[in-house]
Structure 1
């Protein structure tokens, strides 16, 4: 049948993935770094993905195509959701072991003196999902130990402000105790590498959740954040992203989750340049 359907210009596509997140039917996938329409029957022809593309690579055309199949779409959505859940619940890496990092007092540096306190097992049933508290002594002088026979200078020691583990959004359990009534920092992966004072200006006194809207599934982020917001009633939400277009997806995921969860809290949005400067703080 002749009907409206999207067309993707692969030459213009930069692989940002924003269209993938915008298509709730799952009609678009990133394959070899390019957005592709995986099946005509998944595309409803409404064009929700068009305004999300920063490169203008998506257009609406009329051509012969299989009719939109709502039943097939529902099956695909269910399959994608099950795949994401399976990836999360079959984790076996100790690096995803849950932790809460507590800090008490006045220390300016705690190099080499972190203590870990385990909480109850959360999530996938393996050690990698166990929530933990990391307690840090904040009183007194820098506690850096000798390094190769040379004393580390206190003024060059920059302490970690991280208060929980894990930080990857895909690994965080929505039922973790550290999320309750927390001040949340939701940051794109690259921001902490680009901005030098990230720990002191953003992580301090917040619970940190990170992810990459280009490489990961933004629809999954929206679902996960919606669950977190509903269960935990955050006190505030700060979102930090890079200036590059492919990073905008994290903003969309957070705002959509706030709408779904009916979360009305203090919201702050920060944009970091690739040179490491704050270029927007709303």
Structure 2
């Protein structure tokens, strides 16, 4: 039959998983880092996933597709529930065994053990570690959602806009990124709404000298970079900006001038 069904543009999709969370029928899963419609008959065509996508990678199309099958959806959800229960039982029985990420999960939520060379933090001979460096935080609040758009600290400021996980992954975050910058943080996956509108107002109303974006390597963190990009375009200003990607083991990849 010809009916309305979702279509996912893989080129736009960053694998954040928000669409999968929004789909009540569990019709979408993240496969190889991209959102994928598992089966046509799982999709009811109502499109709860569309507004959840920050990249506008999902749209409706009219095409030949199997009719929506409510019974099949319920059977799949029951199987997913059983799989989750089995996984919980197995984890309790053997907490040391590695587990695969569920097929419908977000890569940004993946649990990883990070193996480090302890010699880096414990010098030979038992020498005490160097004293902790001081904080470089220049203002409070730091949350994008909380700071006023016309805060005095924005006047002629060099702006750091960072995903909040980056400060925990990167050991020298204060010295390397925050020094002499006004810092704003947020989480594009967990915070409600879109940062682009507020960031646009901050850029438009203030004399911002430069912008640095620091994000994690996981796909869902691309929402931060995307919001800044849209805000810069909407502000109508030519402000130099650059992006730094931090890996989950704490390495900061080469800064990219944009």
Q: What number of residue pairs does the alignment pair up?
A: 169
Paired position in structure 2 for 1:78 = none
The answer to whether the Cα contact below 8 Å between 2:160 and 2:183 also exists between their aligned partners in 1 is yes
1:174-216 Cα offsets, whole Å, 9 max, x none, are: 0111112210000001100111111011000000000011111
TM-score (norm 1): 0.51
2: CA distance, partners of 1:209 / 1:220 = 14
Paired position in structure 1 for 2:177 = 202
The answer to whether the Cα contact below 8 Å between 1:272 and 1:280 also exists between their aligned partners in 2 is no
Map 1:48-127 → 2, pairs under 5 A: 55-59=33-37
1:228-277 Cα offsets, whole Å, 9 max, x none, are: 11111310000000111111110001001111112311111000111111
TM-score (norm 2): 0.55
Sort the Cα spacing of 1:163 and 1:154 in 2 relative to 1 into closer, same or farther, 3 A: farther
Report whether the alignment pairs 1:247 with 2:218.
no
Paired position in structure 2 for 1:5 = 5
- The equivalent position to 1:265 in structure 2, one of 239, 243, 252, is 239
Higher relative contact order (CA 8 A, sep 6+): 2
The answer to whether the Cα contact below 8 Å between 2:160 and 2:178 also exists between their aligned partners in 1 is yes
2: CA distance, partners of 1:154 / 1:55 = 40
The answer to whether the Cα contact below 8 Å between 1:222 and 1:256 also exists between their aligned partners in 2 is yes
- The equivalent position to 1:213 in structure 2, one of 188, 193, 207, is 188
1:85-106 Cα offsets, whole Å, 9 max, x none, are: xxxxxxxxxxxxxxxxxxxxxx
Paired position in structure 1 for 2:110 = none
The answer to whether the Cα contact below 8 Å between 1:174 and 1:228 also exists between their aligned partners in 2 is yes
Sort the Cα spacing of 1:67 and 1:190 in 2 relative to 1 into closer, same or farther, 3 A: closer
Give the superposed CA RMSD.
3.7
Sort the Cα spacing of 1:187 and 1:205 in 2 relative to 1 into closer, same or farther, 3 A: same
Q: Which runs of 5+ in 2 are unaligned?
A: 52-127
Map 1:180-195 → 2, pairs under 5 A: 180-195=155-170
- The equivalent position to 2:22 in structure 1, one of 36, 39, 42, is 36
Q: Which runs of 5+ in 1 are unaligned?
A: 20-33, 39-49, 74-152
Superposition deviation, residue 15 in structure 1: 8.0
Give secondary structure in 2 for the equivalent of 1:159. Answer: coil
Sort the Cα spacing of 1:275 and 1:222 in 2 relative to 1 into closer, same or farther, 3 A: same
Report whether the alignment pairs 1:168 with 2:146.
no
